[in-house]
């Protein structure tokens, strides 16, 4: 998966928006004001791309045990976040599933009012 594909896929999610709240390097994708994906732009340039994605804690443990390129979230809650290496070892469709899972977890955590506002946008 390249940066453009990652970026466009994340922004295709209903209500998704991009932010740089920490620095000019860390791209943060949010829904309803909450993060669902973070990635360092400079790491993409070095061909060392990875993304932090929210994950159900039980599934997070299973994924880390099964895949060498899925680790506890770097600089994040190790319980709820994974860092997924985007070096080509994981199929793009699987990475998209992980992005979907992260987005859905965050979306479901939003208030019904905010969820409805996002749904009504389109």
How many C-beta atoms surround the C-beta of residue 5 within 10 A? 13
Percentage of the residues of the chain whose pLDDT score is greater than 90: 94
Sign of CA dihedral 122, 6, 19, 57: positive
User: What's the pLDDT band for 122 if we cut at 50, 70, 90?
Assistant: low
Q: Please give the Cα distance from 106 to 67 (Å, whole number).
A: 23
Work out the mean pLDDT of the chain and round it to a whole number: 96
Q: Measured between alpha carbons, how far is residue 34 from residues 19, 46, 48, 89, 104 in Å? A: 11, 28, 25, 28, 12
């Amino acid at each position: 998966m390249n940066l453009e594909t990652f970026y466009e896929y994340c922004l295709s999610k209903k209500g998704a928006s991009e932010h740089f709240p920490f620095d000019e390097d860390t791209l943060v994708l949010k829904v309803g004001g909450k993060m669902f994906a973070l990635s360092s732009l400079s790491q993409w340039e070095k061909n060392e791309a990875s993304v932090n994605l929210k994950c159900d804690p039980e599934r997070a443990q299973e994924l880390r045990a099964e895949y060498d390129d899925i680790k506890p979230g770097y600089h994040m809650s190790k319980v709820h976040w994974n860092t997924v290496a985007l070096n080509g070892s994981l199929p793009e469709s699987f990475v998209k599933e992980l992005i979907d899972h992260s987005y859905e977890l965050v979306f479901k955590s939003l208030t019904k009012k905010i969820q409805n506002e996002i749904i009504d946008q389109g």
